[in-house]
Structures are given as C-alpha cells and as structure tokens.
C-alpha cells in the first residue's frame, strides 16, 4: 500500500482546494508527481495557525500504525527535515504555491530526530 489514504465516493462535487494559511484557501492547479530529497514543501498547521516550509529528508519511508488502529504500516511516505506539525494536524495539506503535494500523516523518529511525515498526493 502507498501512504494512508482511503478513497470514498459521494454524490456531490468536491472542489480541489486546500487551506494554505489562516484565511488563505487556494485552488489546486497541479499535483506534485516527482518527489526528491531537498525539495521544499510547506505545511499548514491549523492547530498552530501557521504555515511552515521545510526540505524533504527522504521520499520513501514506512510508518507503523498503533495497535489501536490495527497496526497497519503506511508505506512510501515522505519524511521532512523537521516536524512542523502537532497532534490534530493529521489530514492537513502539504503544498507548494498552488500545487498539491500531500496529506499530513504525523511524525516519526529517524536518525535521532523527530521528522514530519506525509502521504504523497495523487490525481
């Protein structure tokens, strides 16, 4: 499996948009298709009310789920240099300008440092 996204369907239209910052809702004009170490992406933390940009540390990490969630492993996640999110930010947007990049998964320790992780965006 790739990331931690589950697809659902409904009978209403969902516009392709996301919150980039407080009061800044943006339309998605493109979706990232090539993830590389050192790419810069930004995350909006609704819990902290701030947008922070950071560099990619690794573009293919696995993150193990807690036993309460069935212990499912999310694979091929992106890990950032730093952890710029807090509890409650899961499901929030990673972006660059008007390009959708991914969805906040959480964080994990890699090489003695806590790093933010996200599921890659898909079309």
110 contacts: CB under 8 Å, gap ≥ 6: 57, 58, 61, 79
Give the separation between CA 110 and CA 43, rounded to whole angstroms.
19
* pLDDT in the model for residue 58: 96
Q: What is the mean pLDDT of residues 54-79?
A: 83
1 — pLDDT class (breaks 50, 70, 90): very low
56 — pLDDT class (breaks 50, 70, 90): very high
70 contacts: CB under 8 Å, gap ≥ 6: none
């Amino acid at each position: 499996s790739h990331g931690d996204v589950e697809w659902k369907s409904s009978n209403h239209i969902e516009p392709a948009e996301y919150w980039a910052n407080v009061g800044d809702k943006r339309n998605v004009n493109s979706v990232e298709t090539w993830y590389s170490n050192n790419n810069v992406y930004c995350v909006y933390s609704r819990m902290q009310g701030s947008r922070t940009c950071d560099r990619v540390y690794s573009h293919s990490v696995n993150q193990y789920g807690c036993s309460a969630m069935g212990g499912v492993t999310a694979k091929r996640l992106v890990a950032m240099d730093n952890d710029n999110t807090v509890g409650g930010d899961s499901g929030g947007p990673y972006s660059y300008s008007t390009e959708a990049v991914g969805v906040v998964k959480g964080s994990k320790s890699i090489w003695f440092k806590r790093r933010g992780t996200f599921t890659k965006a898909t079309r």
